């Protein structure tokens, strides 16, 4: 089986996600960017399943999440924080603390419109960084 078969073809392709779950980590490392693409909209049927899979991975997620948190896509930041980062290990959350603080204290207009500061604060609150 090719790793490409583990990348959803559309927002309903749960079979591809099931294949990805069967492979697990670290085997999925080469397609992490492709899997993160499917977390752009939490309303897509594949999004919560992909997010759950990603949140079970280890520290290899950190650079990909950081890249998203530094992007111009407020909705993607929202969904990645809510669906992936919130359910990831405390170690991953802590490693992204400065990014979350920045998003909470200095959001762009798109971030504010997408409620990014609110979800960033919820993760920081769980880490006992903010109230």
Which domains are seen in the chain, by residue range? 3-126 (1.25.40.750)
CA distances from 131 to 5, 55, 74, 78, 105 (A): 43, 24, 23, 19, 13
Confidence of residue 128 (pLDDT cuts 50, 70, 90): confident
Q: What is the pTM of this model?
A: 0.94
In this predicted structure, the answer to whether residue 28 has a pLDDT above a threshold of 90 is yes
CA distances from 64 to 14, 31, 33, 84 (A): 22, 11, 7, 11
Report pLDDT digits (tens) over 37-48.
Answer: 999 999 999 999
């Amino acid at each position: 089986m090719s790793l490409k078969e583990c990348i959803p073809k559309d927002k309903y392709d749960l079979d591809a996600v099931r294949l990805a779950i069967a492979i697990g980590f670290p085997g999925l490392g080469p397609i992490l960017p492709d899997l993160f693409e499917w977390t752009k909209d939490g309303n897509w049927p594949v999004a919560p399943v992909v997010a759950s899979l990603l949140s079970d991975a280890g520290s290899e997620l950190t650079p990909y999440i950081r890249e998203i948190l530094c992007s111009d896509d407020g909705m993607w930041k929202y969904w990645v924080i809510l669906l992936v980062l919130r359910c990831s290990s405390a170690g991953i959350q802590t490693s992204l603390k400065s990014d979350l603080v920045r998003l909470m204290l200095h959001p762009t207009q798109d971030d504010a419109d997408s409620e990014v500061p609110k979800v960033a604060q919820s993760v920081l609150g769980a880490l006992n960084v903010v109230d």
